[in-house]
Amino acid sequence: MDEHTSPASNHAAGQAGSTSGSFESPEGLRALLIRLHESGTGAWRNDREAAELMRFTAARYKQLARKYGLDAWAVASAAFEVMLAPSTRNAGNPWAVVTHAVRITCLAETRAAGMLTSISKVRHTSRIAGFHDAIRFAEREHLTDYHPAFAVDPATDEDDDSENGDRAKVTTALSDTVGLFLSAGWDVALVVACVEHATYRLADLPSRARAVEVLRRDRATPELLGIPPRSWTALLRIVLGNPDRKHAGTPTGEGVLLRLLDGEPLDSLRCDTGLLAAIWAANPNKSDSP
């Protein structure tokens, strides 16, 4: 649609509406959105204040756009789509609604580029988050800080058999982790998506504890993955370990993935009733599980 492009210049015909810049407050934005809605078709295209609003929006989200490598006007376009929704103009704080939606859009754009797919699929296709970026977690150098099995040292790992053995160990640990959740009734696509995303993000962070904290505070990710925040937080602590000091050095503090990488047999984890109970309790569909 035409409104997605840079707004018309100030000579655009139409109502001036309220004082320029009044839309910078939540109340002012709501008033402008209601007026434009009630003005009918073409209001956005011909209204001077609407053009000023979009220029302000592009400037407001410029830093956010830069963070995700996007064009400021592309982000403003996403904000425009949100401004058209009745729920935005009826919200207590319209700017908060727009900002939240824009952040999700930026994340979806980034995920779509990483997964080599369209943003519409990332946004609307069920369980699309089950696929991760084309850059595989095993290629990220910081994973060596998590466990030696992730390391590939050219000085010592000269033959392919050794390298393949380490990667096979990691793959097996991830597969066994997923298997534990499946045994507690978790949806396969959901748990694969969550475990892979958590492991992938671990590559960018200095420690397991930091990874748990950063991922727990990321509100957009569980929404994109299709998992309730409560279940997402519990899954992180089960897989990567509970960072609370009282759990230091315990199986709960280490987490499933590290226990498997350290050589603990899968059967041992399957006999850990406390672990299995925690996995079952975290299942967002536990009412449907056996």
Q: For the segment 139-162, what is each residue's pLDDT rounded down to a tens digit?
A: 555 555 555 555 555 555 455 555
136 and 63 fall within a common domain: no
Q: From 124, 142, 177, give the residue that closes a domain.
A: 124
Q: What is the DSSP letter of 153?
A: -
Higher pLDDT among residues 273 and 148, named by residue: 273
Tokens in use for 239? 């897989």
- The letter for the amino acid at 232 is W
Distance of CA 164 to the CA centre of its chain: 30
Average pLDDT over residues 22-48: 90
Q: How far apart are CA 234 and CA 212, in angstroms?
A: 10
Q: From 103, 124, 145, give the residue that closes a domain.
A: 124
133 and 112 fall within a common domain: no
Residue 181 in contact with residue 279, Cβ under 8 Å? yes
Domain coverage including residue 170: 128-288
Q: How far apart are CA 212 and CA 226, in angstroms?
A: 18
- Name the nearest CA neighbour of 221 among 132, 88, 118: 132
Q: From 124, 152, 179, give the residue that closes a domain.
A: 124
Residue 52 in contact with residue 21, Cβ under 8 Å? yes
Total domains in the fold of the chain: 2
Q: Is the pLDDT of residue 223 over 60?
A: yes
pLDDT tens column, 76-91? 998 999 999 999 999 8
- Tell me if residue 161 falls in helix, strand or coil: helix
pLDDT at 216: 81
pLDDT at 1: 41
Q: How far apart are CA 153 and CA 162, in angstroms?
A: 10
Tokens in use for 112? 């779509």
145 and 167 fall within a common domain: yes
pTM above 0.85, yes or no: no
pLDDT at 147: 53
251 and 229 fall within a common domain: yes
242 and 284 fall within a common domain: yes
- The letter for the amino acid at 248 is A
To the nearest 10°, the Cα dihedral for 207, 136, 68, 2? -150
CA within 13 Å, CB half, 135: 12
- Name the nearest CA neighbour of 199 among 114, 119, 256: 256
107 and 93 fall within a common domain: yes
- The contacts found for 135-138 with CB under 8 angstroms, 24 or more apart, are 137/196, 137/199, 137/200, 137/202, 137/203, 138/167, 138/170
- The count of residues in the chain is 290
Q: How far apart are CA 279 and CA 183, in angstroms?
A: 9
pLDDT at 167: 73
148 and 264 fall within a common domain: yes
